[in-house]
Amino acid sequence: MIRASWILITPLLLLCVSGSAFQERGGREAPPPPRGGGSGHGGNRTPKPKPKASLLVNVTPTDSTIVLNEEIQRAENGTLERSNLAPGIYRMVVQREGYEPQTLQISLVPDTNTPFNVVLRLITGVLNIEPTVTGCQINVLDAETNALVGTYSGQVRNLELPPGRYQILVSKEGYRAVVRDVSVKAASTTLLEPSLEQLPRAPSPNARNTRNTGEPRFRPDAETQVRTSVTGKFIVVVINGRSGDTSNTLGTIDIKLTTGDGVSAYASGMLTGYPCQVDLVRLENVAEYSFVEPPGVGNQWSRIVVRIRPKSSKRPVHFAINWRNLGSVRASKTPPYSQSGN
C-alpha cells in the first residue's frame, strides 16, 4: 500500500516542477484585458472640432480689390464675407487704381465676426492759379459736366481736385476775360498763370457800358433757335442764341417739345453770350438727360446741346434750363429766377 501511493504522487510533483521551471526560464503570463473593451485610446470618444473664425469686410469704392494673405478675394458689391477660417493674424490689402492702398493686420478670433469698413482715399492732384493781375475773380468748372467747383478771389492756392479736365474763367473789370482749359493729374501739381489784357478806356462817359465790362462785343441774336433730332429712345435738342444782355445775372430758357410724326419745339428765353453755368430742371415727361455740349468758349457761350429720354414717347416734353453768369459780367440787383409750378 505504501509503495502504490508513492507511485501516484510522483506525476503530480513532476507537473508542479515543470511549471515552476517554465516560469524560471522566462515564461510570462498574458496581461489582463483592458477595461471597457475599447482599443486602449479612450474607447468610443470623438475628438472635439477645432474652433473656426469668420471675416466680414466692406470696402469703398465697391470695385476695390481685396488681397488676404497674398490671395485675391472675390467681393460682391463691395462686401467680402468668409467663414471657416483658422483663427490668427491675417494681412489684408485693399487697393484700386487712382486711390491710396490700405494695408491692415487683422486678428480673427473664434465666434467673433466684427465687420471691417475700409474707405480708400482718392489720389488727388493740386491746382495753383496765379493771374498776372491782382484782384481777379476765378471760377473753376468741371469741363465734363460744366458744374461749378468753386469761385475764388485773387489766387487759387493748393486746390485739391480729382484727376480730370477743368475750365478756368478769370475776369476783372477793365480787363478782357480769360478762359483756360487745364488737365489735373493724380499726385501732381499744376500751375496756371493766366495773363489778362487791359481794355482801352471808353472815349466818353456816354459810351455803352459793355465797353468797360471786359466782355467781347458781338451782334445779338433776334431769337433762340431750336433744332431736334431723334436717336433711338432719345431726343437731341440743340439750342442756339445769345442776347448780349448785361443787366441780368440769372435767367432761364423754357423748352417744350411735342411728339407725333416728328418732334416740334418751342423755346422762350436766351443765353447772354457770356460765361455762365447751366442746370436742367425736369418739368414734365423727362426720364433722364445729359448735356452733350454746354455753353463754353468753343461755342462763344451761345449754344447748348442736351439729350433727353422721355418717359413716354406719346406725351409732350417740358423742361427748363437755368443759367447763371459767372461774375465776368457786372452783377445786378435782379432777384433770382423762381420756378413756377405747371
What are the tens digits of pLDDT across the range 236-248? 999 999 999 888 8
Question: What is the count of structural domains for the chain?
Answer: 3
Return d(Cα 136, Cα 265) in angstroms, integer.
40
Give yes or no for residue 37 having a pLDDT over 80: no
Bridge partners of residue 85, in order along the sequence:
53
The more confidently predicted of residues 305 and 9 is 305
Do both 230 and 299 map to the same domain?
yes
- Domain that residue 310 falls in: 225-325
Residue 25 in domain: no
Q: Which of 96, 122, 148 is the last residue of a domain?
A: 122
Mean pLDDT over the full length of the chain: 81
Return d(Cα 131, Cα 193) in angstroms, integer.
5
Do both 172 and 235 map to the same domain?
no
Do both 117 and 144 map to the same domain?
no
Task: For residue 291, give the nearest of 179, 145, 79 by alpha carbon.
Answer: 145
- Cβ neighbours of 103 (radius 10 Å): 10
What are the tens digits of pLDDT across the range 255-304? 999 987 778 898 999 999 998 989 898 888 999 999 989 998 889 899 99
Do both 135 and 117 map to the same domain?
no
Do both 230 and 321 map to the same domain?
yes
- In terms of Cβ atoms closer than 10 Å to its own Cβ (0-12, 13-18, 19+), residue 339 is exposed
What are the tens digits of pLDDT across the range 76-99? 899 999 988 999 999 999 999 999
Distances (CA, A) of 320 to 115, 220, 280, 303: 46, 22, 6, 15
Answer for the pair 85, 52: CB distance below 8 angstroms, yes or no.
yes
| CA-derived radius of gyration, the chain | 44
Residue 34 in domain: no
DSSP for residue 259? -
| Element housing 14 (H / E) | helix 2-24
Model confidence band, residue 72 (pLDDT cutoffs 50, 70, 90): very high
Q: Which of 93, 122, 151 is the last residue of a domain?
A: 122
Residue 216 in domain: no
Question: Looking at residue 176, which CATH number applies to its domain?
Answer: 2.60.40.10
Question: Looking at residue 95, which CATH number applies to its domain?
Answer: 2.60.40.1120
Residue 14 in domain: no
- Cβ neighbours of 51 (radius 10 Å): 10
pLDDT at 179: 82
pLDDT at 155: 95
Residues in contact with 162: Cβ distance below 8 Å, sequence separation at least 6, in sequence order: 122, 124, 125, 184
Do both 231 and 318 map to the same domain?
yes
Do both 308 and 230 map to the same domain?
yes
Model confidence band, residue 33 (pLDDT cutoffs 50, 70, 90): low
Do both 166 and 111 map to the same domain?
no
Q: Which of 122, 152, 171 is the last residue of a domain?
A: 122
- Range from 180-189, 311-320, 325-334 carrying the lowest mean pLDDT: 325-334
Instruction: Output the CA angle 139-143-145, nearest 5 degrees.
Output: 105
Residue 134 in domain: yes
- In terms of Cβ atoms closer than 10 Å to its own Cβ (0-12, 13-18, 19+), residue 248 is middle
What are the tens digits of pLDDT across the range 95-135? 999 999 999 999 999 887 878 999 999 999 999 999 999 99
Do both 259 and 317 map to the same domain?
yes
Do both 233 and 184 map to the same domain?
no
Give yes or no for residue 334 having a pLDDT over 50: no
Give yes or no for residue 3 having a pLDDT over 80: no
pTM: 0.52
Do both 260 and 318 map to the same domain?
yes
The more confidently predicted of residues 15 and 158 is 158
Model confidence band, residue 201 (pLDDT cutoffs 50, 70, 90): low
Residue 48 in domain: no
Residues in contact with 334: Cβ distance below 8 Å, sequence separation at least 6, in sequence order: 247, 248, 249, 250
Residue 186 in domain: yes
The more confidently predicted of residues 97 and 342 is 97
Return d(Cα 29, Cα 75) in angstroms, integer.
68
Model confidence band, residue 340 (pLDDT cutoffs 50, 70, 90): very low
Answer for the pair 227, 241: CB distance below 8 angstroms, yes or no.
no
Residue 342 in domain: no
Do both 183 and 97 map to the same domain?
no
